[in-house]
Amino acid sequence: MNILITGCNGQLGNEMQRLEKQYTAHTYFNTDVADLDITDHEAVYSFVDRHCIDGIVNCAAYTAVDKAEDNGPLCQLLNATAPGYLAQAIEKRGGWIVQISTDYVFDGTNHIPYVETDHVCPNSVYGRTKLAGEQAVIGACRRSMIIRTAWLYSTFGNNFVKTMLRLGHEKAELGVIFDQIGTPTYARDLAMSIFTAIEQGIRPGVYHFSNEGVTSWYDFTKAIHRLAGITTCRVRPLHTAEYPTPAMRPHYSVLDKTKIKQTYNIEIPYWEESLEECVLQLINQE
């Protein structure tokens, strides 16, 4: 197959590029905005046709959650309109698309893990535009797979793990929110699950993926520092009200992964095991 991967310079896109070397039966077109502007309808159609694309993995998105509150039109363009263009273009070729979505489509008021059929109710610009992206893709392409994920991190780009490592070395004390509950996702584990789906055949629908287990941002930070051997920074638990942000965060966004595990017969690593792998890599890069 000829597979288009958008957003190749982001966390997930970079992990896709690293892993694609194991799947040499396919030809990959790794693009970012300099190679393909996915907000340009004609450019998308032309690229997909010219390169005879069979499938698309859309890793591109506007992910600055707080800045999105003041940049609604741009966020809508990147997170909803552009995925619609990709889905329309690949539908014309009878192909498939994997669209990456987010736990922010939920309002976070649940007390048990969210399943794919739970009511969606985003309470931020980012969440609303990502939900609109899901709907645009599903509406345009019959062979569409939506994967909602959460708390993404990797050795690439800027993310929570890297920030906490840096602050742990720089500060004697750090306050981190303890009353928002979810599950971290190592981008490499997500990339591996996407390749598994591609190899077995894309089965349309909405799926959830994060690592296994549950934690808070506070406990996540404590684990990051413990694994990195950081002992000089005291981490204090904060209530959400003590750290106001422009965008509302879901207080509880644990995702149930039963569907994707059963559909593709995959085992998902525990979040702290994957975190240890990532932290060790980051330390070795220093």
> Is 126 tagged catalytic?
yes
Say which of 28, 114, 126, 252 is annotated catalytic. 126
Residue labelled with tokens 């190899």: 199
Helices (H) and strands (E) in the chain — how many of each?
Answer: 11, 12
> Phi and psi of 252, rounded to 5°?
-140, 115
> Phi and psi of 22, rounded to 5°?
-85, -10
Residue labelled with tokens 């591996």: 192
How far are the Cα atoms of 166, 197, 217, 233, 278 from residue 285, in angstroms, in the given order? 14, 31, 24, 22, 11
Residue 174: CB partners within 8 Å, gap ≥ 6?
Answer: 164, 167, 168, 221, 233, 234, 235, 236
- 148 - beta bridge partners? 101, 208
Catalytic residue ranges: 126
